[in-house]
Amino acid sequence: MSTTPLSPTDRTTLHRNRTRARTERSALYEILDDGLICHLGVVVDGSPRVIPTGYGRIDDTLYVHGSTGAASLRAAPSQEICVTVTHLDGIVLARSLFHHSVNYRSAVVYGVPRTVTDPDEKLAGLRAVTERLAPGQWKTARRPTPKEMAATSVLALSLEEASVKMRQGGPLDDDEDYALDVWAGVLPVHRTFGEPVPDPRLRPGIPVPPHIADRA
Amino acid sequence: MSTTPLSPTDRTTLHRNRTRARTERSALYEILDDGLICHLGVVVDGSPRVIPTGYGRIDDTLYVHGSTGAASLRAAPSQEICVTVTHLDGIVLARSLFHHSVNYRSAVVYGVPRTVTDPDEKLAGLRAVTERLAPGQWKTARRPTPKEMAATSVLALSLEEASVKMRQGGPLDDDEDYALDVWAGVLPVHRTFGEPVPDPRLRPGIPVPPHIADRA
């Protein structure tokens, strides 16, 4: 895994709010490894298209997958794509509306993806995508058949060019506004998992495995 | 508010998984009115860029705002943008890895935005964005000054061309896989709010207002 800092290309260098930029590669990994879905941006007929989809990471490669019939994936291998992962961590409530903000962590990755054709890498990429959404399932559920593998596209995107932004902490108000009788602070936002809901067709006697029941 | 169905342009007509498409305009409103942030897609120098940002809705117009210095907003008014709002509602755990999926609701809106210049609409758009992230704050916090208004860009995007997709319910496995000894079902994913964290500089004696404390 690379320990070089994140890329300093123009579009990944933040021109505003510099204090919110992070350039350690570890910050990128942490954000990607804490997400469940990404938003994949492609250009179709000159216009942007933004689609939510699953993803996974292995070292310095990000994998996304989809049906071989998906238009967004068909368009992707020949051109640049953008993959964004965002965590909304809190609503920042200031004394002035102008200084309302959000606490968040986001990673934006740019690059020309390649369609994964090597069978071993394709399986590894699919595993990474599956384990991001459903850790522990790769060892539990039925593995893909050759026919299922053929129906699935896996794209690989290098994490070479990426930017990381985050905001943490309370509101920053204008000096004179601290005298106002307005509550200020942060309302945290969390992602939580509920109680597992068994499939109505679940065979009797199969308990919820700990990797699902205890997920936090 | 329009009651016409969503647009039937080619890119908003789902060519796959037709059962997941929704064409009622009310479904679009529900998804937008349940979100906190969107992912805004723009094309910059021919490449896609996907940025998380706040948004709000008034009738059939979506508003996004940002600093007048933000590159993504500067690029936007002259060209098409894409705004996507996604709710991840559950991880669908099937008996086969191939049929793993997610329950979600997503709205994708396309259009050429306009920069809002009318002062009344600009204030209304900002209010819509603020109230989406922080309902109740418009009546509580200090309103924007003319200088703050001038430092803020508001873009308006018609909801004319939009698509809605959702998946709900349990896994759909292949017939022969129902005999497997694999737990199957849905792990729900929720967005929750934590306990409000007061600003360290909060003046003594200001309680957390109900619209923040009781938010669900």
Q: Between A7 and B82, where is the model more confident?
A: B82
What pLDDT sits at residue A145? 96
In a domain, A168, yes or no: yes
**In a domain? residue A165:** yes
Residue B130's pLDDT is 96
Predicted confidence band of residue B18 (pLDDT cuts 50, 70, 90): very low
Q: Are the Cβ atoms of A11 and B49 closer than 8 angstroms?
A: yes
For residue A49, give the nearest of B70, B82, B193 by CB distance.
B82
pLDDT for the residue A3: 60
Mutation for A interface: B93, B202, B203, B206, most A CBs within 10 A: B93
Question: Who among A39, A181, A191 is closest to B191 (CB)?
Answer: A191
Instruction: Please indicate whether residue B18 or residue B49 has the higher confidence score (pLDDT).
Output: B49
Given a cut of 70, is residue B7 above it in pLDDT? no
Query: How much is the pLDDT for A173?
Result: 96
DSSP at A60: T
Beta partners for A47?
A: A44
Partner-chain residue, chosen from A43, A106, A191, that has the shortest CB–CB distance to B52 = A106
Q: Residues B67-92: what's their mean pLDDT? A: 80
Structure tokens, B20: 């997941």
- B208 contact residues in A (CB cutoff 8 A): 183, 185
Min CA distance, B58 vs chain A (Å)? 19
Determine whether the interchain pair A207/B126 forms a contact, defined as Cβ–Cβ distance below 8 Å.
no
Q: What pLDDT shows up at residue B101?
A: 95
The mean pLDDT value of chain B amounts to: 90
State how far the alpha carbon of A177 is from the alpha carbons of A63, A96, B185, in Å. 47, 7, 51
The pLDDT of residue B15 is above 60 = no
Q: Tell me the H-state helices in chain A.
A: 25-32, 71-75, 119-133, 146-150, 210-213
How many CA atoms within 13 Å lie on the side-chain side of B188? 9
Q: Note whether B75 contacts A: Cβ–Cβ < 8 A.
A: no
B91 CB within 8 Å of a chain A CB: yes
What is the rounded distance in angstroms from the CA atom of residue B52 to the CA atom of residue B38? 6
Distance CA(A40)–CA(A55), nearest Å, equals 10
- Cβ within 8 Å of A, B 175-214: 177-203, 206-209, 212
**Shortest CA distance to B11 belongs to which of A48, A79, A123?**
A48
User: What pLDDT does residue B13 have?
Assistant: 63
Classify residue A180: in a domain, yes or no.
Answer: no
Q: Give me the pLDDT at residue B63, please.
A: 97
Is A112 part of the contact surface with chain B (CB cutoff 8 Å)?
A: no
The pLDDT score that the predictor gives to residue A63 is 97
Residue whose tokens read 């309103």: B143
Judge: A46–B80 Cβ closer than 8 Å, yes or no.
Answer: yes
In the stretch 21-60 of chain B, residues with CB closer than 8 A to chain A read 36-37, 39-44, 46-52, 54
- Whether residue A2 lies inside any domain: the answer is no
Closest to A141 (Cα-Cα) out of B168, B171, B181: B181
**φ/ψ (deg, to 5) at A100:** -60, 145
pLDDT of residue B71: 57
Whether A203 and B181 lie within 8 Å, measured CB to CB = yes
CA count, 13 A, side-chain hemisphere, A97: 26
Radius of gyration (C-alpha) of chain A in whole angstroms: 21
d(CA A134, CA A156): 20
Residue B209 domain-assigned (yes or no): yes
Domain tally, chain A? 1
Domain span at residue A126?
A: 10-174+192-213
Per residue in A161-184, pLDDT (tens digit) is 999 999 999 999 999 999 999 999
CA dist A209 to A138, A205, B94, B102, B164, Å? 13, 12, 13, 19, 34
* Closest partner CB to B67 (pick from A16, A178, A183): A16
Among A100-104, B18-22, B57-61, B91-95, name the one with the lowest average pLDDT.
Answer: B18-22
pLDDT in tens, B133-159: 999 999 999 999 999 999 999 999 999
Q: Indicate the burial class of A59 (C-beta count within 10 angstroms; 0-12, 13-18, 19 or more).
A: exposed
| Within a domain: B182 | no
Residue B69 · residue A16 · CB < 8 Å: yes
Compare CB distances from A93 to B69, B86, B137 and report the shortest one's residue.
B137
The token pair at A190 is 């969390």
| pLDDT of amino acid A22 | 76
Number of other residues whose CB lies within 10 A of the CB of residue B50: 30
- The DSSP 8-state label assigned to residue A4 in this structure reads S
Using a CB–CB cutoff of 8 Å, tell me whether B129 touches chain A: no
Q: Does B138 touch chain A (CB under 8 A)?
A: yes
A160 and B CB contact within 8 Å: no
Tens of pLDDT along chain A (216 residues) come to 556 667 667 776 654 443 477 778 999 999 999 999 999 999 999 999 999 999 999 999 999 987 655 555 666 567 999 999 999 999 999 999 999 999 999 999 999 999 999 999 999 999 999 999 999 999 999 999 999 999 999 999 999 999 999 999 999 999 999 999 999 999 999 999 999 999 999 999 999 999 999 997
- Residue A186: inside a domain: no
What's the distance, CA A17 to chain centroid? Answer: 22
CB pairs under 8 A between A and B: 303
What's the rounded Cα separation, in Å, for the pair B74 and B67?
Answer: 9
A216 close to B (CB below 8 A): no
Per-residue model confidence (pLDDT) at position B76 = 58
Q: What CATH number is given to the structural domain containing A153?
A: 2.30.110.10
Q: Lowest-pLDDT range, B18-22, B101-105, B123-127, B167-171?
A: B18-22
Contact A185/B177, CB-based, under 8 Å?
no
Task: Decide if A37 and B199 are in contact by the 8 Å CB cutoff.
Answer: no
Can you give the C-alpha Rg of chain B in angstroms? 21
- In this structure, is residue B145 part of a structural domain? yes
Instruction: Tell me how far apart the alpha carbons of residues B172 and B169 are, in angstroms, rounded to a whole number.
Output: 9
Q: What is the ipTM of this complex?
A: 0.91
* Coil, strand or helix at A92: strand
